[in-house]
Amino acid sequence: MNIALWIVAGVFGIAYVAGGIVKLTMPYEKYTAKTHWPEDFTPGKVKFMGAVETLGGLGLILPGLLDIAPVLVPVAASCMALYMAGAVTERLRRAEYKELLGDLLFLAAMIFIAWGRFAIEPF
């Protein structure tokens, strides 16, 4: 189980960091032209989402990897689950059902990590 939790945390942590860096570095207009969902948000909010994703992704990996406060891994996973619940709500509001599946996958992964690290195995 520990290996599965590490794999899921690693894959999704890297995905969050990559997505967050894109949101932080790509100009708002260019990002909006590619994805369209940021049209509902200000550039500052999109940058904030990028910061949340970057920090959340790092929080899924670094505390356990460095063995410094590993309890932060399930905390980060819980926070990212709440973040993804917001993303799912936004997808439903915009009727973007194709993209909704990806958000549900991320939500399920975060719940799995939080559950596994809080309840099953400490590391």
User: What are the 10-residue block averages of pLDDT along the chain, 123 residues in total?
Assistant: 93 98 96 91 96 98 93 96 97 92 97 90 54
CA distance 106 to 62: 19
Q: How many helices (H) and strands (E) does the chain have?
A: 5, 0
Contacts of 9 (CB under 8 A, 6+ apart): 60, 61, 64, 73, 77, 113
What is the per-residue pLDDT for 82? Answer: 98
What is the per-residue pLDDT for 123? Answer: 53
What is the per-residue pLDDT for 118? Answer: 87
Helix (H, G, I), strand (E, B), or coil: what is residue 70?
coil
